[in-house]
Amino acid sequence: MRSPPREKIMAQMGKILSSPDFAQSDRSQKFLRFVVEEALAGRAETLKEYTIALAVFERDESFDPQTSSIVRVEANRLRGKLKKYNAIDGRDDPVRIEIPRGTYVPSFETAGQQGGSVERRPDSVPPGRARKPRPWSLVALLATLIVTVGTGAFFLLDTPFLNLGAERSSESPNPERMSSVAVLPLRNLSGEADQDYFSDGMTDALITSLAKQDGVRVISFISAMAYKNVNRSIAEIARELNVTHVIEGAVLRSGNRIRITAQLVDAANDRHLWAESYERDVVDVLVIQDEVVRQIVSSLKGQIVPAKNKSPKGTPAIDPAAYEAQLKGRFFLNKLTEEGFRKGIAYFKQAVEIAPDYAAAYSGLATCYCLLAGYGFELVDPREGMPAAKNAVMEALRLDDSLAEPHAFLGIVRLKYEWDWPGAEEAFKRSIQINPSYAQARVSYSFYLQAMGRQEEAIREAEEARSIDPLSPAANINLGWQYLQADRPERARQQFESTAELDPYIWGVHWGLGHYHRRNGAYDKAIAAFQKAIDTGGGHVLPLTALGYTYAISGQPEKARKVLDKLEGLAKESYVSPFGMATIYAGLGLKDDAFTWLEKAFEHRSRSMVWLKVDRDFDGLRSDARFQALLRRIGLSE
The reported pLDDT for the residue numbered 491 is 96
Spatial separation of the C-alpha atoms in residues 90 and 627, rounded to whole Å: 69
In the chain, the amino acid numbered 34 is F
pLDDT along the chain (638 residues), means of 10: 80 87 81 92 88 88 76 83 79 88 88 40 36 30 30 29 31 47 81 71 82 82 83 84 87 73 81 75 72 74 46 61 90 86 95 94 95 82 94 96 95 96 97 92 96 96 93 92 96 94 86 96 97 88 96 97 96 93 97 98 96 95 96 88
Spatial separation of the C-alpha atoms in residues 22 and 80, rounded to whole Å: 11
Spatial separation of the C-alpha atoms in residues 397 and 395, rounded to whole Å: 5
* Angle (nearest 5°) at CA 275 between 272 and 281: 155
Q: Between β-strands 180-183 and 217-218, what pairing exists: parallel, antiparallel or unpaired?
A: parallel
Cα 382 off chain centre by: 28
Reported residue count of the chain is 638
- Mind spelling out the 3-state secondary structure of 204-231? HHHHHHHHCCCCCEECCHHHHHCCCCCC
Spatial separation of the C-alpha atoms in residues 39 and 45, rounded to whole Å: 8
**CA nearest to 333, candidates 365, 285, 376:** 365
* pTM across the whole model: 0.66
> To 10 degrees, the CA torsion angle through 383, 404, 195, 89?
170
Q: Between β-strands 257-266 and 136-137, what pairing exists: parallel, antiparallel or unpaired?
A: unpaired
CB 279 within 8 A of CB 310: no
Helix (H, G, I), strand (E, B) or coil at 162: strand
In the chain, the amino acid numbered 351 is A
Spatial separation of the C-alpha atoms in residues 110 and 121, rounded to whole Å: 8
CB 113 within 8 A of CB 156: no
Spatial separation of the C-alpha atoms in residues 587 and 271, rounded to whole Å: 59
The reported pLDDT for the residue numbered 120 is 37
Spatial separation of the C-alpha atoms in residues 632 and 638, rounded to whole Å: 8
Residue range 137-317, CATH number: 3.40.50.10070
**CA nearest to 262, candidates 146, 100, 158:** 146
The reported pLDDT for the residue numbered 193 is 64
The reported pLDDT for the residue numbered 254 is 66
Q: What are the boundaries of each domain within the chain?
A: 6-131, 137-317
